[in-house]
Structure 1
Amino acid sequence: MKKLRVFISGQKYFGEQVFSLCQKLDFVEIVGVCAPIDDKYIGKTARKFNIPVVPAGALNADTMPDNVDIGITAHSFDYIGVRTRYKPNIGWIGYHPSLLPRHRGRSSIEWAIKMRDAITGGTVFWLNAGIDRGDIAYQEICFIDPKMYSMDSKKAAKLLWEHELQELGLKLIRQALIDISNGVIIKKPQRKEFSTFEPSTDVKDVFKPDLLMLEQYASGSK
């Protein structure tokens, strides 16, 4: 089993949980994190263990540590630019709470509920230049309780995240790290014909700001 030097870009409770997961794996060394300056979860925990913290928005190939094996996004809204994405020896993985390529975008859980999907799930995938478009590494389903269809979608999404999808993400990331450390790299292209993309439910205009962000950064070199 190979020792993995890991860099985490994340925030809030899930970011801290991924950090704790990595700490528990004896073959993983966390060499740095990227988090908002005021983050009281992963950022605070990293400083407690004297692990370097790159402020959110400042992550690029120059501010990221050298000799990283793999990067992980954990509730991160930082776009990982081209040079940053290719800096780790193996690449970057992220967790998305949907069955990609279904429900790409920031509000994936809400849209699964709004569209009355019977089944959703979580996906660990390899980051590329697109939003939630990289090759799939691991995926697992969970059912949506029909009672959630009549609830406020944000409240229902929060419950589904806290009771199902958060733990599922940690499980899949753990499996990914174990396999990667053993030289097992799984990459399965997403099937474009089944893809959907929905805008953030926090934005009230008719545009898709995530697509605008993609246009702004996809050709960048951060």
Structure 2
Amino acid sequence: MRVMIVGQKWLGAALLRQCIAEGHQVLAVAAPPSVGEEYDRLYATAQQLGVPARAVRGRLVAQDVPPGCDVLLAAHAHCFIDAAARARARHGALGYHPSLLPRHRGRDAIRWAVHMREAVTGGTLYRMDDGADTGPIVSQDWCHVRPGDTPAALWRRDLAPLGLRLFSEALERLARGQELAGLAQDEDLASWEPAFSGARLADTSG
């Protein structure tokens, strides 16, 4: 599969390495611009591996997507991927969210799950649309929230590896010619939480 990865930090870099290891062609990555002389981990990893890297802030547009792209993969992406950009990829855009959507939409899903003392959470691979974490669900899996878990521990132990596995399985299905239409989210079950007060999600995801 010919993919473009849009994202940042550990998950973006790990997905880039995984895609290459699994034989997919990574046409480009889009990551946040550097802060001073410090590059984002995804951007730096792409440079090390010789993959074209683009600095994108706020919005990914059609001109950012290289020709011939099969699918956009959003891994910890905090920029908006607009409809024209999604249409440039044959299979649109797939995003990973660390919750059992439609529950805990929003940037601090892990912190809210821990804060609310939920016993179970999980991750969702979904088709991206114009909403915030609202697109059709392609696949999901769950994990326990263990006693004493912190958001960082839960992310590193379960939710980040889960995201990589769901991306891998989806790409395998696409490579076999399967369609990933997805299942519409049940709005009666939806919840959206604001940024967690005093929290920095970057601290949980590296």
**1:162-195 deviation digits (Å, cap 9, x = unpaired):** 1111111111111011011112223111111100
1:10 matched to 2:7? The reply is: yes
SS of 1:146's partner is coil
TM-score, scaled to structure 2: 0.89
- Mapped partners of 1:10, 1:131: distance in 2: 15
Pairing of 1:121-136 with structure 2 (within 5 A): 121-136=122-137
From 152, 158, 170, the equivalent of 2:152 is 158
**1:77-125 deviation digits (Å, cap 9, x = unpaired):** 1111121121101110011000000000000011111112111000111
**1:117-156 deviation digits (Å, cap 9, x = unpaired):** 11100011110010000011110010111334xxxxxxx1
1:48 Cα shift?
A: 2.2
- Mapped partners of 1:65, 1:59: distance in 2: 12
2:162 aligns with 168
Structure 2: 5+ residue stretches without partners:
200-206
1:193 matched to 2:188? The reply is: yes
Q: Which amino acid aligns with 1:30?
A: V
1:59 Cα shift?
A: 3.0
SS of 1:62's partner is helix
1:37 Cα shift?
A: 2.9
Q: Which amino acid aligns with 2:155?
A: W
- Mapped partners of 2:128, 2:60: distance in 1: 15
1:143 aligns with 144
- Mapped partners of 1:172, 1:59: distance in 2: 23
Deviates more, 1:78-87 or 1:32-41: 32-41
Q: Across the two proteins, how many residue pairs are aligned to each other?
A: 193
- Identity value in percent: 34
Pairing of 1:1-222 with structure 2 (within 5 A): 4-26=1-23, 28-38=24-34, 39-57=39-57, 59-148=60-149, 156-186=150-180, 187-202=182-197
- Mapped partners of 1:34, 1:40: distance in 2: 10
- Mapped partners of 2:60, 2:50: distance in 1: 18
Structure 1: 5+ residue stretches without partners:
149-155, 205-222
Q: Which amino acid aligns with 1:162?
A: R
1:50 Cα shift?
A: 2.5
TM-score, scaled to structure 1: 0.83
